[in-house]
């Protein structure tokens, strides 16, 4: 079969990694895969030469707020491309790609339109900006026109329902992970980094406000009043400079390593004692499953979205209230001081990660995309 994904770009991120994982799996199982990109941004994730890549020419002029205004133009180009390549099943990924995909119906696209929602929509888009208000209104207008909506967690489904999208349109399917590949990458030798001589915590995310890295830094400061500990930060983003200043203000600059974005974060995660996630919302939380696959216990905020569904009850980790650095610090100290508890959670983590294997979840994606074939 021929499956096609429509996505903004491949600049890095959880949704992009899922597309890479599914594309690789389907190619290995002798399917044809096409990926259609709205933008002309630099590609971070690499794909097999068997994957067919298409970039919409209109992406060259779709920048800034023009990306919203020119959606109908991109939809026209996309509808023509879909008629030409004629895939058996199509899914768009991320909100802008979803809206462009839905708008192809205006231009005569007769194919089944399946979209994938991957964020807590009302949290991701705020009413206090033009772009936020515009995107929310477009979502409320166009999403009900989808033939099917895949939500990556119950939290994502509920957020859409709160915007007036019928739950009858929505199917919850968690993100797939290539667990064997994660574990194979995790045992590779680490270059240009060695674990500190003290217990080491790790987080991996885009350095943006919704990830609430300051709560992790404040928790680390509390932990270091009791016992030495180090935090490794994997990722990059607009908040990096401000976060480094925050660490310095807390007196823990020497206790934090900023390692940037890495194609293989797993070899570092595996060499740390505890994985931390401080998010204010998460559509799913791929990094949580990835840490579990590495056998590393997770402490995450109990935010709207996936972490609760992945970790509750005690599936390899602990949940703490959002923004509560004291509660985060308490759980970190509990795990660092109790090797038996840490080992039990690590064993549970390995088992739980297997629930998200690509082999189990890819068929759910393909059946949604190609229903009726």
Nearest to 277, CA basis, from 263, 289, 259 = 289
- How high is the pLDDT of residue 179? 97
Span(s) in the chain for CATH 3.40.50.2000:
2-176+357-369, 179-356
**Superfamily name with CATH number, domain 179-356:** Glycogen Phosphorylase B; (3.40.50.2000)
Per-residue pLDDT of the chain (373 residues; tens, 9 = 90+): 999 999 999 987 889 999 999 999 999 999 999 999 999 888 878 898 999 999 999 999 988 888 889 999 999 999 999 999 999 999 999 999 999 999 999 999 999 999 999 999 888 887 778 888 889 999 999 999 999 999 999 999 999 999 999 999 999 999 999 999 999 999 999 988 999 999 999 999 999 999 999 999 999 999 999 999 999 999 999 999 999 999 999 999 999 999 998 889 999 999 999 999 999 999 999 999 999 999 999 999 999 999 999 997 778 999 999 999 999 999 999 999 999 999 999 999 999 999 999 999 999 999 999 875 4
The string of pLDDT tens digits covering residues 251-279 is 999 999 999 988 899 999 999 999 999 99
For domain 2-176+357-369, the question of CATH label 3.40.50.2000 is answered with yes
The continuous run of DSSP H or E covering 3 comes out as: strand 2-7
- How high is the pLDDT of residue 372? 56
- pTM, whole model, 2 decimals? 0.91
The reply to whether omega before 60 is within 30° of 0 (cis) is no
The string of pLDDT tens digits covering residues 154-184 is 999 999 999 999 999 999 999 999 999 999 9
Ordered DSSP codes for 241-304: HHHHHHHHHTT-GGGEEEEE--S--HHHHTTSSEEEE--S-BSS-HHHHHHHHTT--EEEE--S
Nearest to 264, CA basis, from 343, 359, 192, 197 = 192
Looking at the DSSP assignment, which residues form a beta bridge with residue 114? Answer: 91, 148
b/e for 88-120, b at 16 or more Cβ within 10 A? bbbbbbbbbbbbbbbbbbeeebebbbbbbbbbb
């Amino acid at each position: 079969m021929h499956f096609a994904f429509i996505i903004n770009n491949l600049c890095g991120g959880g949704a992009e990694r899922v597309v890479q994982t599914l594309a690789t799996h389907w190619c290995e199982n002798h399917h044809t895969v096409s990926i259609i990109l709205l933008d002309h941004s630099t590609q971070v994730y690499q794909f097999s030469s068997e994957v067919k890549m298409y970039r919409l020419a209109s992406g060259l002029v779709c920048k800034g707020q023009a990306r919203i205004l020119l959606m109908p133009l991109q939809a026209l180009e996309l509808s023509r491309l879909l008629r030409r390549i004629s895939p058996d099943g199509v899914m768009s990924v991320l909100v802008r790609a979803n809206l462009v995909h839905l708008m192809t119906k205006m231009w005569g696209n007769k194919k089944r339109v399946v979209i994938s929602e991957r964020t807590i929509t009302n949290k991701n888009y705020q009413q206090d900006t033009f772009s936020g208000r515009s995107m929310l209104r477009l979502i409320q207008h166009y999403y009900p026109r989808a033939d099917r909506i895949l939500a990556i967690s119950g939290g994502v489904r509920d957020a859409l329902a709160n915007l007036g999208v019928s739950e009858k349109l929505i199917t919850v399917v968690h993100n797939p992970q290539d667990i064997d590949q994660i574990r194979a990458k995790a045992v590779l030798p680490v270059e240009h980094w060695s674990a500190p001589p003290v217990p080491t915590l790790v987080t991996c995310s885009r350095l943006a406000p919704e990830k609430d890295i300051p709560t992790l830094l404040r928790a680390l400061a509390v932990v270091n009043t009791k016992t030495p500990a180090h935090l490794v930060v994997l990722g990059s983003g607009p908040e990096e400079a401000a976060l480094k200043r925050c660490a310095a203000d807390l007196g823990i600059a020497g206790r934090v390593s900023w390692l940037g974005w890495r194609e293989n974060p797993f070899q570092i995660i595996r060499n740390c004692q505890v994985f931390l996630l401080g998010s204010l919302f998460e559509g799913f939380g791929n990094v949580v499953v990835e840490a579990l696959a590495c056998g590393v216990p997770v402490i995450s905020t109990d935010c709207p979205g996936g972490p609760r569904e992945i970790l509750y009850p005690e599936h390899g980790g602990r949940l703490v209230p959002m923004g509560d650095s004291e509660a985060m610090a308490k759980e970190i100290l509990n795990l660092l001081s109790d090797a038996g508890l840490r080992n039990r959670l690590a064993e549970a983590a390995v088992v739980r990660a297997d629930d998200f294997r690509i082999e189990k979840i890819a068929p759910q994606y393909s059946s949604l995309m190609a229903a009726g074939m």
